């Protein structure tokens, strides 16, 4: 009884009304058939037409249900779906005829045949006219309902939950009930295609998303596979972004919020983010290690108002430090993060915000004497490649001299750990900024090699940070929103990317597990072509690259590489407890010669002797080459690799 009740419950009012319409058409067809036969020959008419109408109506409704004529909303009927009407109607008529014959009633054969043809034509025509009328009304009056025609990617559990929530929301008149009109579903499982989920048809696979967007006049896509593997997610999202409509996502399954062991998906749907297209899951870190490392310590962050520095301060604040010191030369950024943390923590966080330059040795030493930091995160640096090419003295003074000042003062005051933030641009640098950061890495290595040092010196190296100051993403977004061309320097340029929280988590864990002297490198997955990133970002805004928004190639900027690297040839990789964090072996340096060369570089920078300073930087960093040399070699490598992959493989007959 319970099963029957549940089944009838699923057979919604909409389906009941459609079934009544079918019964009416079958009855009218019977009367038309009988009237036509009676006009030509009264003896050929069906004398038991009322019994025939009841039997054929009931039997046809049952067989139409069995063959799935009511599983798919009529407005989504396709050619193959009309077969369910054909099979259902013919089967129902055959069964009804047998029942009437068993009852001992005479049923003219021509009546049965004509009735079947007219009924089939009436039911199929009604469906076609209903579909045409619905699409015409919905496309001509989209603003009336406000609901956007939605394609759902993935027909699994998340999709079912979402469709139920939408249905319940409409009954309860919730705010998001009018935001989504589920039209169709795509899924790569062959067993699901052709079926329907909560009345919404599964029309095909993810490979044909663009086709179904055009066919069903889709206005938005929801990616509903929260447990999808990273490579598969990137492939599907690339297909979605090519469909020229906005994309929304259900978050990663680990990020879903559950209440009382239940999850409401509709409130957690978000716009797609660029990091969703990186081709990997967000990197996770061991919070227990970080907590035991930070808890009760005085932590200083130089450059604490910048993108990385401010996120470092945010994460440090979570682990109950004794004191947090924000040190920055730019007062506006320092003020913003100070106010943010004050509003969030109030008096619970012992926060000190200081305006100072890492170039000023005596001011930094004064701060260390007063506050006695135990852990120093050195994030202060100039990082804009083209600007530093024009003003190389500033890169050397701020990055090299500033790092030397803070590192030497940290060692003097016996700081427990010193963590320097580096960049992939320090590997085989082709610009002053990258070479200056490589020199900073060598400074950290120099101090880590000091035999009597009480400080653990460590370097963390990572790629481009999404959303940071100077990142391409904010620039691309601003250009798209203003309708201006998106500017990419070169069609072949590729970069490694990570999110700001990932970058900072790497720094935190590196500090927690460091013994001194390591360069920590994050496995950031596959590098991303900048032009592909720009194209996907344009599509995420629902626009067409090169048509709605132009992509303009401006040429490589001064000092810019075609491709960044994470390790130098001399460095190897060692595994750590986190499978995505590796330790690069340091290149041995001659400590005595290095410190002499460093002082020459410092003196040249202080004298603003640009030619001499850059020459000394080349001397200290032997891997510092011109961008023209590097890019020429890189493009030749790519051409050779492409030629090798295109070359046919000969096999013996």
Question: Across-strand partners of 181?
Answer: 149
| 287 neighbors 555 (Cβ within 8 angstroms) | no
> In the annotation, is 425 catalytic?
yes
Number of residues written out for the chain = 653
- Which of 125, 129, 127, 122 is closest to 25 using CA atoms? 122
As a 3-state breakdown, the chain gives helix, strand, coil percent values, each rounded to 5, of: 55, 15, 30
- Strands annotated E in 311-455: 323-328, 351-355, 375-378, 417-423
| 530 neighbors 466 (Cβ within 8 angstroms) | no
In the 3-class helix/strand/coil scheme, how is 233-281 assigned residue by residue?
HHHHHHHHHCCCCCEEECCCHHHCCEECCEECCHHHCEECCHHHHCCCC
Q: For strand 148-153 and strand 220-223, is the pairing parallel, antiparallel, or unpaired?
A: parallel
> Considering Cα of 373, then 375, then 376, then 379, what sign does the dihedral take?
negative
C-alpha 148/C-alpha 66 separation (Å) is 32
* Active-site hit among 192, 234, 297, 425: 425
- Which of 27, 84, 249 is closest to 152 using CA atoms? 249
> Considering Cα of 393, then 399, then 400, then 402, what sign does the dihedral take?
positive
C-alpha 254/C-alpha 159 separation (Å) is 17
- In the numeric block, the tokens 């030629």 are attached to 643
Measured N-to-C along each axis, helices 402-412 and 432-448 cross at an angle, to the nearest 10 degrees, of 10
C-alpha 51/C-alpha 61 separation (Å) is 16
SS3 633: helix
- Strands annotated E in 254-350: 258-259, 262-263, 270-271, 298-302, 323-328
Q: Please count the CA atoms within 13 angstroms of the CA of 260 that sit on its side-chain side.
A: 1
Residues with active-site annotation: 425
């Amino acid at each position: 009884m319970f099963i029957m009740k549940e089944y009838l419950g699923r057979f919604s009012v909409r389906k009941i009304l459609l079934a009544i319409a079918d019964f009416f058409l079958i009855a009218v067809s019977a009367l038309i058939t009988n009237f036509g036969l009676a006009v030509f020959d009264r003896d050929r008419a069906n004398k038991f037409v009322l019994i025939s109408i009841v039997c054929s109506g009931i039997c046809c409704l049952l067989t139409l249900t069995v063959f799935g004529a009511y599983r798919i909303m009529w407005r989504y009927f396709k050619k193959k779906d009309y077969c369910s009407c054909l099979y259902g109607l013919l089967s129902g008529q055959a069964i009804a005829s047998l029942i009437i014959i068993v009852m001992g009633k005479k049923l003219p054969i021509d009546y049965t045949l004509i009735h079947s043809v007219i009924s089939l034509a009436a039911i199929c025509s009604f469906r076609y006219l209903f579909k045409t009328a619905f699409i015409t009304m919905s496309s001509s009056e989209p603003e009336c309902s406000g609901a956007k025609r939605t394609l759902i990617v993935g027909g699994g559990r998340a999709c079912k939950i979402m469709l139920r929530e939408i249905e319940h929301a409409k009954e309860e008149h919730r705010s998001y009930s009018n935001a989504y009109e589920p039209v169709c579903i795509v899924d790569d499982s062959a067993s699901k295609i052709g079926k329907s989920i909560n009345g919404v048809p599964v029309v095909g696979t993810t490979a044909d998303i663009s086709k179904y967007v055009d066919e069903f006049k889709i206005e938005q896509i929801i990616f509903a596979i929260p447990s999808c593997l990273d490579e598969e997610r990137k492939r599907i999202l690339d297909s979605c972004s090519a469909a020229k409509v906005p994309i929304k996502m259900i978050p990663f399954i680990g990020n879903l919020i559950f209440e009382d062991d239940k999850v409401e998906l509709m409130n957690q749907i978000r716009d797609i983010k660029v990091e969703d297209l990186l081709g990997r899951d967000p990197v996770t870190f061991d919070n227990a290690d970080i907590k035991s490392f930070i808890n009760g310590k005085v932590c200083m962050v130089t450059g604490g108002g910048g993108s990385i520095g401010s996120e470092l301060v945010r994460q440090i604040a979570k682990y109950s430090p004794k004191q947090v010191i924000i040190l920055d030369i730019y007062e506006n950024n320092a003020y913003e993060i100070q106010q943010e943390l004050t509003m969030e923590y109030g008096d619970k966080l012992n926060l000190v915000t200081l305006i100072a330059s890492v170039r000023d040795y005596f001011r930094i030493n004064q701060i260390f004497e007063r506050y006695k930091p135990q852990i120093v995160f050195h994030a202060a640096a100039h990082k804009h490649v083209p600007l530093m090419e024009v003003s190389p003295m500033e890169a050397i003074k701020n990055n090299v001299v500033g790092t030397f000042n803070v590192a030497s003062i940290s060692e003097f005051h016996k700081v427990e750990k010193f963590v320097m933030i580096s960049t992939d641009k320090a590997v085989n640098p082709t610009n002053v900024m990258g070479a200056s950061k490589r020199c900073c890495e060598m400074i950290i290595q120099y101090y880590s090699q000091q035999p009597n040092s009480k400080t653990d010196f460590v370097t963390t190296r990572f790629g481009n940070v999404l959303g940071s100051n100077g990142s391409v993403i904010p620039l691309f977004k601003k250009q798209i929103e203003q309708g201006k061309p998106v500017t990419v320097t070169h069609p072949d340029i590729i970069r490694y990317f990570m999110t700001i929280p990932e970058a900072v988590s790497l720094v935190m864990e590196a500090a927690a597990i460091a013994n001194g002297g390591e360069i920590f490198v994050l496995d950031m997955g596959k590098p991303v072509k900048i032009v592909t990133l720009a194209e996907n970002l344009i599509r995420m805004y629902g626009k067409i690259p090169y048509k709605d928004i132009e992509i303009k190639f401006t040429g490589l900027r001064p000092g810019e590489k075609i491709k960044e690297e994470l390790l130098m040839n001399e460095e190897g990789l060692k595994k750590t407890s986190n499978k995505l964090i590796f330790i690069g072996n340091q290149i041995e340096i001659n400590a005595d010669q290095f410190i002499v060369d460093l002082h020459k570089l410092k003196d040249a920078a202080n004298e603003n002797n640009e030619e001499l300073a850059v020459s000394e930087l080349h001397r200290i960093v032997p891997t510092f080459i011109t961008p023209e040399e590097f890019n020429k070699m890189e493009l030749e490598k790519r051409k050779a690799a492409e030629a090798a992959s295109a070359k046919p493989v000969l096999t013996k007959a």
